[in-house]
Amino acid sequence: MRRLLVIGIGAGDPEHVTVQAIRAMNSADVFFVVEKRGETAELERLREEVIARYVEPDRSFCTVALPDPRRDRGATAYEAAVDDWRGRRAEVWESALARELPDGGCGAFLVWGDPALYDSTIAVVDDIRSRGRVELEHEVVPGISSVQALAARHRAPLNRVGGAVQITTGRRLAAGFPDGVDDVVVMLDADCAFTRFADDEMEILWGAYVGTPDEILIAGRVGDVAADIVRTRREARERKGWVMDTYLLRRPRH
Ligand SMILES: C[S@@+](CC[C@H](N)C(=O)[O-])C[C@H]1O[C@@H](n2cnc3c(N)ncnc32)[C@H](O)[C@@H]1O
């Protein structure tokens, strides 16, 4: 039986890595690294830094790169396109696991933030297990997500007394503020969907590259800070070639 560890490594600060994650990394014989299209050398370096910092120098392991299949981002049927891409990912990972991980060996995937949040690693591993061609037992090690990192850096709780919090995407927010909640965390928003709330009393706590040396934080009434966030985000993206940002939008409670 092969063992596979899906390890959350936090959202950019190597000190986000938990003691449990360090122990898990030190039991891996093979690190599988998904070569994401468009992922910059800087993100790859951060992952390498985590391995170099926390895996004992006398531990022998190897690293196997997994090319990521192309995803059809123009497809109108979004969920079908994601399903198709996950299926092709499962095929690539399945052959690599069969080829590179000996029976009895332990493999690991290092996942940005927490593996339970907007990440397909767990779903792909479930897919491989259900095909039954490679026998695997697996474990998930939680990580500090960008959501927790953002809240901590703004020194803000996510919920207010007895309230609910919804975590959603920019794509969904663009269709309207969700019903039944006052506090919404937004991820994966390339189009700054918050700008449509500039006329409301809504407050925003925004952060880019949270936990890294390039971290940028901006907070205030959306109407007051939206333009500043849009410009700051655009300039940062131009300067670094990539941007990852998350924000909390909150309706005032009177
Ligand atoms: C594919 S999701 C992965 C989320 C990750 N599993 C987590 O737990 O944070 C990528 C999105 O996470 C958010 N994100 C990840 N790292 C971030 C960081 N250091 N600062 C701000 N947002 C971040 C951004 O919204 C980005 O578009």
pLDDT tens digits, residue range 167-181? Answer: 999 999 999 999 999
Q: Does the structure show a pLDDT above 90 at 219?
A: yes
pLDDT beyond 80 at 86: yes
pLDDT of 70 = 78
Which residues have CB under 8 Å from 102's CB, separation 6+? 2, 29
CA 40 to centroid of ligand 1, rounded, Å: 14
Q: What is the DSSP string of 89-133?
A: HHHHHHHHHHHHS-TT-EEEEEESB-TTSS--HHHHHHHHHHH-S
pLDDT band at 80 (very low <50, low <70, confident <90, very high): confident
Query: What per-residue confidence (pLDDT) applies to 34?
Result: 85
**pTM of this structure:** 0.93
With a 6 Å cutoff on the Cβ, whether 244 touches ligand 1 is: yes
Question: Residue 37: its pLDDT value, please?
Answer: 64
State which of 13, 158, 244 you would mutate to test the pocket of ligand 1, scoring each by most atoms of that ligand within 8 A of its C-beta.
Answer: 244
Other beta carbons within 10 Å of 33:
17
Arithmetic mean of pLDDT, 140-151 = 98
Nearest CA to ligand 1 atom 25: 187
Ligand 1 centroid to residue 185 C-alpha, Å: 11
Average pLDDT of the chain? 93
pLDDT at 142: 98
Percent of the chain with pLDDT over 90: 79
Say which DSSP state 168 is in: E
Q: How far is ligand 1, taken at its centre, from the CA of residue 54, in Å?
A: 22
Q: Which of 18, 39, 146 should be mutated for ligand 1, with most atoms under 8 A from CB? A: 146
